[in-house]
Structure 1
Amino acid sequence: MIFAGLIAHIKDHLAKRAEFRRLVAEINTLSNSDLVDLRADRSEMIRYAHQQIYGKVA
């Protein structure tokens, strides 16, 4: 039981990490002019993505 729980935790962590990395890569493809058009800040977007994936502020 403990081993199965550990495996489930690791799988969950790896899935969250993959999703976060995908989002960061997508955010990093935005040009500065794209960010100006969106009135967005890259670091704020990454922090928000982290909060959405992990449920806490980085």
Structure 2
Amino acid sequence: MLSASDLDFFDAGRCRRVALGGGGNVRFEDVAPVRGFRWNKGARSFAGWYYAVTTGGHVGYES
């Protein structure tokens, strides 16, 4: 049963569930996004990538 303290994410194509406090060792910046980023001209939000020194790579974002 899913509780508010569980964390679900996809890793290597399979769904994983860990306790919220147990996800500290998961590098979420390396996990593939669940869906692609969309760039629509004139949209109210935007998406992109930025380089994060702390992760040593690009991180996707969507506002």
Same fold, judged at TM 0.5 (above): no
Highest relative contact order (Cα 8 Å, sep 6+), 1 or 2? 1
TM-score normalised to structure 1 length:
0.23
- Greater helix content: 1
More strand by share: 2
Q: Normalising by structure 2, what TM-score?
A: 0.22
The structure with more radius of gyration: 1
